[in-house]
Structure 1
Amino acid sequence: MKKTMAILTLATCTVATSAQATPEATELKQGAAFTTSALAGAALGGPVGMILGALGGAYIGEQIKQADEVDTMTQSVAVANEEIERLNAQLVQAREETEKLQQMALESLNTQVLFHTASDQLTERGRDRVERVARLMQQWPQWRIRLDGHADPRGTDEYNNVLSQYRAKAVEEALVAAGVKPERVELYSHGSSRSRADKGDHRAYAAERRVDIDILSGRRKPEVVMN
């Protein structure tokens, strides 16, 4: 009996390793294993041997099926891992491109609010600009704002420092009134220290009575600076 089973196993294993793990190949190997085992059993033991051979072929055929299913799953996992790596690479590239486009958009949104001589009150045009910026800030909660107040060179340094701070504060208050949280606003004042206007050039003075509004990405704690 042991000799019979050894011969059956040898015959069917030879068939089991003769094709790759595909559904069609698995069925072919199972059928061949069943037939080979039955024939080998009949040759060795007559009808009883044929029955034993058929049972052995069925068992080995099931083992073939399970082994092929494992091979197929392994190949599928490998393919899936390659696809995940490819998608991750595309995601990283898309994120980098998005960040570049966002930075370009932020730079294009930077603007200025101009003031009348010796005034820290927003003009109608200046208020419109501030409200437009506030609407954008509500749509992009991760953005923050930097305000830089300036003054023209007329008057004392002390006066210009205070005036430029009041101008930046006026813009900040307008932003907060329009729905922007105070912690998203950084406030700076520079007086007339950054003036480039020639003495007596009133047209150039007009451009220096301003608050620069810079929209930035990310979050930082606000601070007040005077210089």
Structure 2
Amino acid sequence: MPEPAWQVAVRQAFAHHSQRYGTHRLRAEVQAQDHRGSRWRICPVLKAHGLRAQQPCSFVPRTTETDPAVRAAPNRLLGQPAPTAPNRVWVGDITYLPRQGGGWLYLAVWLARCLRKIVGWHVRETMPEDLVSEALRRALVVRRPAAGLIVHSDQGRQYTATRFKDLVSRYGAVQSMSRRDNCYDNAHAESFWSRFKAELLDGGSFPGLAEARLEISHHIAYYNTTQHGTPPFSAQL
């Protein structure tokens, strides 16, 4: 019995992308070719042919570099109830994404604390100061939050930079920071990464920055729309 066309498409897509794509991205690939295929149907196909996406190396790059000489903002979220309305608290963080052939890309996001939706993001090949400020600027321009928005992060040098502080002040926002070496103070942002990266990467890696930007954009639209079964993010904010 001949192999179904959609299964052939799965194997061809897997080979074309140098064995870097997992089920999430393979599904998008075969669906773009007008084949029906869910992640749960794709898994047995890969297993039957002994195919498994290459895993990124175990080295974890450091994304938080603090400067002891810089005065940090206080943690304005300590002891405060969770916000019940959007655009009252945004939390930010940076993570790394594996790149094919070695190396990393760095993604900065800002999350609306109330709805756990992504309001702004930016990805680069390095971690300059404007990685987080550009992500925040985009969010501020689109969302136009009222004055008094709390912008919370860790004490990384990108968040203590003068340009970032000026941006926060210019939009009438208030800066808040985790206490030094206390990961629990920014747990809302850090816990977000486990699900988001697992679905985005699905065991694979990115060929380069352009491909990463495209896939991240698509995945954020998917994440914001399907998070907790809520309607599209734009309708909520």
TM-score normalized by structure 1? 0.25
* TM-score (ref. length: structure 2): 0.24
Instruction: Give the structure with the higher percent helix.
Output: 1
From the CA coordinates, give the structure whose radius of gyration is larger: 1
